[in-house]
Chains A and B, each alone.
Chain A
Amino acid sequence: QKEVEQNSGPLSVPEGAIASLNCTYSDRGSQSFFWYRQYSGKSPELIMSIYSNGDKEDGRFTAQLNKASQYVSLLIRDSQPSDSATYLCAVNIGAGGTSYGKLTFGQGTILTVHP
């Protein structure tokens, strides 16, 4: 089982729709969770961080965390063509100092928003 696994893509949604990206992780002790956006040929850009169960909203983005189910998701409302990118889920695997400073990344989900 992969430590961090994202829903297989690519994902295609029409402009204005909600895009839903999902990620599961294997270690129950994980403390912090991140979503990065990566445009083709560019480096990843941090768009959301979440540390507690529940929802966290930032503009059109909502991150959802459920530690009991070991599941984190990213919702993009009113999707725009400029949201077309690869989205990477990253998890700070392990608790506290045992894997301090290490993020484990999923393989990424390609999102295409078509006009």
Chain B
Amino acid sequence: DGGITQSPKYLFRKEGQNVTLSCEQNLNHDAMYWYRQDPGQGLRLIYYSQIVNDFQKGDIAEGYSVSREKKESFPLTVTSAQKNPTAFYLCASSIPSGRVSYNEQFFGPGTRLTVL
């Protein structure tokens, strides 16, 4: 079965701790994305990567870090510098299609992070 997996489903963090959220895809997609969703709001882009070993900041990158060492994997670390990390984190992937980006993005099941 092809798809996007995220783990863990629920994560609890104490203040001052760094945590890493996993995102893996076996769809052979080039591009991967991390979004954050707060209650009653749309999605906000944290980081995205179009190819291995390259990534760009999104709209709310402060307090987060990523790596893209393999095409299949795009882990997100929520650092202690992120002041309000409690949210629903969503990973997505897509195949860029040339100059005009149709960019259909498909989402994993998400990770709910709660800071205690």
Contact = CB atoms under 8 A, between A and B. Distances in A.
B102 A101 contact: no
B42 A49 contact: no
B12 interface: no
A105 B42 contact: yes
Nearest to B44: A105
B101 A31 contact: yes
Nearest to A2: B42
Judged by DSSP, the binding face of A is loop
Contacts of A106: 42
Contacts of B58: 102
Nearest to B99: A96
Interface residues of B, number: 27
A60 interface: no
Contacts of B96: 100-101
B50 A100 contact: yes
A96 B105 contact: no
B90 to A, nearest CB: 6
Interface in B19-57: 31, 33, 35, 40-45, 48, 50
Interface stretch (B60-68, B70-78, B79-87, B107-115): B107-115
Judged by DSSP, the binding face of B is loop
A92 B103 contact: yes
A112 B83 CA distance: 34
Given A31-B100, A96-B101, A101 B48 contact: yes
B105 A100 contact: no
A31 B43 CA distance: 19
A100 B101 contact: yes
B102 A32 contact: yes
Contact of A51 (B31, B45, B102): B102
Given A31-B102, A34-B105, 14 more contacts: A32-B101, A42-B109, A43-B90, A43-B108, A44-B107, A46-B106, A49-B104, A90-B43, A101-B94, A101-B96, A104-B45, A105-B35, A107-B42, A108-B42
11 contacts: A4-B42, A32-B100, A44-B43, A46-B104, A49-B104, A88-B42, A92-B101, A96-B100, A100-B101, A102-B48, A105-B35
> Would you list the 7 A-B pairs with minimal beta carbon distance, nearest first?
A105-B42, A43-B107, A105-B43, A107-B42, A43-B110, A100-B101, A32-B102
